[in-house]
Chains A and B, each alone.
Chain A
Amino acid sequence: KQEVTQIPAALSVPEGENLVLNCSFTDSAIYNLQWFRQDPGKGLTSLLLIQSSQREQTSGRLNASLDKSSGRSTLYIAASQPGDSATYLCALGGGATNKLIFGTGTLLAVQP
Protein backbone atom coordinates (compact mmCIF):
# COMPACT_ATOMS: atom_id res chain seq x y z
CA LYS A 1 0.00 0.00 0.00
CA GLN A 2 1.37 3.39 -1.03
CA GLU A 3 2.14 5.70 1.88
CA VAL A 4 3.03 9.34 1.45
CA THR A 5 4.81 11.36 4.14
CA GLN A 6 5.66 15.03 4.23
CA ILE A 7 8.40 16.49 6.38
CA PRO A 8 8.38 18.82 8.18
CA ALA A 9 4.79 18.90 9.38
CA ALA A 10 5.14 22.61 10.09
CA LEU A 11 7.67 25.25 9.13
CA SER A 12 8.08 28.90 10.00
CA VAL A 13 10.56 31.06 8.09
CA PRO A 14 11.29 34.77 7.75
CA GLU A 15 10.29 36.50 4.56
CA GLY A 16 12.80 36.25 1.74
CA GLU A 17 14.21 32.89 2.73
CA ASN A 18 14.49 30.02 0.25
CA LEU A 19 12.94 26.81 1.52
CA VAL A 20 12.41 23.16 0.65
CA LEU A 21 9.41 21.00 1.42
CA ASN A 22 9.80 17.24 1.26
CA CYS A 23 7.49 14.46 0.14
CA SER A 24 8.39 10.78 0.51
CA PHE A 25 6.55 7.77 -0.84
CA THR A 26 6.99 4.04 -0.36
CA ASP A 27 6.15 2.65 -3.81
CA SER A 28 8.20 4.00 -6.71
CA ALA A 29 5.73 2.73 -9.31
CA ILE A 30 3.91 6.03 -9.67
CA TYR A 31 2.32 7.75 -12.66
CA ASN A 32 2.58 11.36 -11.58
CA LEU A 33 3.04 13.60 -8.56
CA GLN A 34 1.17 16.83 -7.97
CA TRP A 35 1.81 19.60 -5.48
CA PHE A 36 -1.09 21.62 -4.10
CA ARG A 37 -1.53 24.49 -1.69
CA GLN A 38 -4.51 24.76 0.61
CA ASP A 39 -5.49 28.02 2.24
CA PRO A 40 -7.66 27.99 5.38
CA GLY A 41 -11.31 27.50 4.48
CA LYS A 42 -10.51 27.20 0.80
CA GLY A 43 -9.99 24.52 -1.75
CA LEU A 44 -6.85 22.95 -3.14
CA THR A 45 -4.94 24.91 -5.74
CA SER A 46 -2.76 22.94 -8.12
CA LEU A 47 0.82 24.24 -8.16
CA LEU A 48 2.86 21.80 -10.21
CA LEU A 49 2.40 18.41 -11.85
CA ILE A 50 5.36 16.12 -12.55
CA GLN A 51 4.67 13.15 -14.78
CA SER A 52 6.58 9.94 -14.11
CA SER A 53 8.87 10.47 -17.11
CA GLN A 54 9.89 13.94 -15.89
CA ARG A 55 12.35 14.93 -13.22
CA GLU A 56 11.25 18.48 -12.45
CA GLN A 57 8.81 21.25 -13.19
CA THR A 58 9.06 24.98 -12.61
CA SER A 59 6.50 27.72 -12.23
CA GLY A 60 7.66 31.17 -11.19
CA ARG A 61 9.35 30.91 -7.79
CA LEU A 62 8.40 27.26 -7.43
CA ASN A 63 10.41 24.26 -8.54
CA ALA A 64 9.38 20.67 -7.93
CA SER A 65 11.63 17.67 -8.47
CA LEU A 66 10.90 13.97 -8.58
CA ASP A 67 13.26 11.08 -7.86
CA LYS A 68 11.29 7.87 -8.21
CA SER A 69 14.21 5.60 -7.37
CA SER A 70 14.57 7.12 -3.92
CA GLY A 71 10.84 7.71 -3.45
CA ARG A 72 11.17 11.45 -2.97
CA SER A 73 9.90 14.74 -4.28
CA THR A 74 10.86 18.23 -3.16
CA LEU A 75 9.13 21.56 -3.59
CA TYR A 76 11.54 24.47 -3.61
CA ILE A 77 10.15 27.94 -2.93
CA ALA A 78 12.49 30.81 -3.71
CA ALA A 79 12.38 34.17 -1.96
CA SER A 80 9.41 33.27 0.22
CA GLN A 81 6.67 35.83 0.85
CA PRO A 82 3.94 36.08 3.51
CA GLY A 83 1.42 35.24 0.78
CA ASP A 84 3.06 31.81 0.49
CA SER A 85 1.72 30.92 3.94
CA ALA A 86 -0.54 27.90 3.50
CA THR A 87 -0.61 24.13 3.82
CA TYR A 88 1.27 22.36 1.05
CA LEU A 89 0.19 18.90 0.00
CA CYS A 90 1.80 16.43 -2.34
CA ALA A 91 -0.30 13.75 -4.02
CA LEU A 92 0.59 10.69 -6.05
CA GLY A 93 -1.80 9.97 -8.86
CA GLY A 94 -2.61 8.00 -11.92
CA GLY A 95 -3.16 4.36 -12.67
CA ALA A 96 -6.40 2.89 -13.89
CA THR A 97 -8.53 4.80 -11.40
CA ASN A 98 -6.57 8.07 -11.45
CA LYS A 99 -6.91 8.19 -7.67
CA LEU A 100 -4.80 10.70 -5.77
CA ILE A 101 -3.02 9.53 -2.63
CA PHE A 102 -2.26 12.54 -0.50
CA GLY A 103 0.58 13.23 1.85
CA THR A 104 0.15 14.49 5.37
CA GLY A 105 0.87 18.10 4.47
CA THR A 106 3.31 20.81 5.56
CA LEU A 107 1.94 23.94 7.22
CA LEU A 108 4.11 26.85 6.12
CA ALA A 109 4.18 30.24 7.82
CA VAL A 110 6.26 33.01 6.28
CA GLN A 111 6.85 35.80 8.77
CA PRO A 112 6.99 39.38 7.47
Chain B
Amino acid sequence: EAQVTQNPRYLITVTGKKLTVTCSQNMNHEYMSWYRQDPGLGLRQIYYSMNVEVTDKGDVPEGYKVSRKEKRNFPLILESPSPNQTSLYFCASSWGQRGSPEAFFGQGTRLTVV
Protein backbone atom coordinates (compact mmCIF):
# COMPACT_ATOMS: atom_id res chain seq x y z
CA GLU B 1 0.00 0.00 0.00
CA ALA B 2 1.31 3.41 -0.99
CA GLN B 3 1.69 5.51 2.10
CA VAL B 4 3.52 8.15 4.08
CA THR B 5 4.30 7.07 7.62
CA GLN B 6 5.05 9.42 10.47
CA ASN B 7 6.20 8.55 13.96
CA PRO B 8 5.32 9.16 16.66
CA ARG B 9 1.63 10.05 16.30
CA TYR B 10 1.55 11.82 19.64
CA LEU B 11 4.40 13.36 21.62
CA ILE B 12 4.56 15.42 24.80
CA THR B 13 7.95 16.84 25.63
CA VAL B 14 9.58 19.53 27.73
CA THR B 15 11.12 22.77 26.56
CA GLY B 16 14.65 22.34 25.27
CA LYS B 17 14.69 18.56 24.92
CA LYS B 18 15.76 17.65 21.40
CA LEU B 19 13.35 15.48 19.44
CA THR B 20 12.99 13.96 16.00
CA VAL B 21 9.80 13.17 14.11
CA THR B 22 10.37 10.58 11.44
CA CYS B 23 8.72 10.43 8.02
CA SER B 24 9.02 7.66 5.48
CA GLN B 25 7.36 7.14 2.10
CA ASN B 26 7.25 3.99 -0.03
CA MET B 27 6.34 5.55 -3.38
CA ASN B 28 9.86 6.51 -4.51
CA HIS B 29 8.77 10.15 -4.56
CA GLU B 30 11.42 12.80 -5.11
CA TYR B 31 9.66 15.60 -3.32
CA MET B 32 8.99 15.63 0.42
CA SER B 33 7.92 18.38 2.76
CA TRP B 34 6.81 19.20 6.28
CA TYR B 35 3.82 21.31 7.28
CA ARG B 36 2.44 22.46 10.58
CA GLN B 37 -1.24 23.08 11.19
CA ASP B 38 -2.44 25.61 13.75
CA PRO B 39 -5.95 26.88 14.51
CA GLY B 40 -6.67 30.04 12.59
CA LEU B 41 -3.44 29.80 10.62
CA GLY B 42 -4.09 26.69 8.58
CA LEU B 43 -1.30 24.57 7.13
CA ARG B 44 2.07 26.19 6.55
CA GLN B 45 5.17 24.71 5.00
CA ILE B 46 8.22 24.32 7.25
CA TYR B 47 10.86 22.72 5.00
CA TYR B 48 10.92 20.85 1.76
CA SER B 49 13.27 18.60 -0.19
CA MET B 50 13.42 18.24 -3.97
CA ASN B 51 15.63 15.15 -3.79
CA VAL B 52 18.33 13.43 -1.76
CA GLU B 53 20.66 15.95 -0.12
CA VAL B 54 18.58 18.87 -1.45
CA THR B 55 16.57 20.72 1.19
CA ASP B 56 15.30 24.27 1.55
CA LYS B 57 13.28 26.47 3.87
CA GLY B 58 9.55 26.87 3.60
CA ASP B 59 7.49 29.64 5.14
CA VAL B 60 8.09 28.90 8.84
CA PRO B 61 11.51 27.21 9.21
CA GLU B 62 12.70 28.85 12.44
CA GLY B 63 13.46 26.32 15.15
CA TYR B 64 13.47 23.30 12.83
CA LYS B 65 16.04 21.26 10.94
CA VAL B 66 15.66 18.53 8.34
CA SER B 67 17.85 16.09 6.49
CA ARG B 68 17.42 13.96 3.38
CA LYS B 69 20.08 11.27 3.33
CA GLU B 70 17.86 8.68 1.69
CA LYS B 71 15.06 9.16 -0.80
CA ARG B 72 12.40 7.54 1.38
CA ASN B 73 13.13 9.34 4.67
CA PHE B 74 12.76 12.97 5.67
CA PRO B 75 13.02 13.49 9.45
CA LEU B 76 12.06 16.73 11.17
CA ILE B 77 14.36 17.74 13.99
CA LEU B 78 13.60 20.18 16.78
CA GLU B 79 16.93 20.91 18.45
CA SER B 80 15.47 22.92 21.34
CA PRO B 81 11.66 22.76 21.28
CA SER B 82 9.65 25.65 22.68
CA PRO B 83 5.94 25.90 23.58
CA ASN B 84 5.20 27.87 20.39
CA GLN B 85 6.11 24.72 18.45
CA THR B 86 3.12 22.93 19.93
CA SER B 87 1.22 22.00 16.80
CA LEU B 88 -0.03 19.26 14.49
CA TYR B 89 2.71 18.28 12.03
CA PHE B 90 2.29 16.64 8.65
CA CYS B 91 4.78 15.10 6.28
CA ALA B 92 3.93 14.96 2.57
CA SER B 93 5.45 13.50 -0.57
CA SER B 94 4.88 13.73 -4.32
CA TRP B 95 6.65 13.14 -7.61
CA GLY B 96 7.49 16.80 -8.00
CA GLN B 97 8.45 17.92 -11.48
CA ARG B 98 8.81 14.47 -13.05
CA GLY B 99 5.32 13.11 -12.61
CA SER B 100 1.96 13.69 -11.04
CA PRO B 101 2.05 16.53 -8.53
CA GLU B 102 -0.55 14.81 -6.37
CA ALA B 103 0.60 15.09 -2.77
CA PHE B 104 0.18 12.33 -0.21
CA PHE B 105 0.17 13.09 3.49
CA GLY B 106 1.05 11.17 6.61
CA GLN B 107 -1.34 10.72 9.51
CA GLY B 108 0.10 13.60 11.45
CA THR B 109 2.09 14.03 14.66
CA ARG B 110 0.50 15.98 17.47
CA LEU B 111 3.31 17.61 19.42
CA THR B 112 2.89 19.32 22.78
CA VAL B 113 5.83 21.21 24.29
CA VAL B 114 5.42 22.13 27.96
Contact = CB atoms under 8 A, between A and B. Distances in A.
A and B held together in a complex: yes
Nearest to B40: A104
Contact of B94 (A42, A98, A104): A98
Contact of A99 (B48, B100, B110): B48
A81 B92 CA distance: 28
Nearest to B102: A49
A51 B48 CA distance: 21
B61 interface: no
B43 A102 contact: yes
Contacts of A99: 33, 45, 48, 58
Contacts of A65: none
B107 interface: yes
Given A43-B90, A97-B48, A102 B42 contact: yes
Interface residues of B, number: 25
B56 interface: yes
Interface range, A side: 20 to 34
A49 B56 CA distance: 25
A89 B92 CA distance: 15
Nearest to B48: A97
Contacts of A91: 43, 103
A100 B43 contact: yes
Interface string B86-114: 00001010101100111111111010000
Contacts of B58: 99
Given A34-B102, A98-B101, 8 more contacts: A43-B107, A44-B92, A44-B105, A46-B104, A98-B31, A100-B92, A103-B42, A104-B42
Interface of B: 31, 33, 35, 42-43, 45, 48, 50, 56, 58, 90, 92, 94, 96-97, 100-108, 110
14 contacts: A41-B108, A43-B107, A46-B102, A46-B103, A46-B105, A91-B43, A91-B103, A94-B101, A98-B31, A98-B50, A100-B92, A100-B103, A102-B43, A105-B42
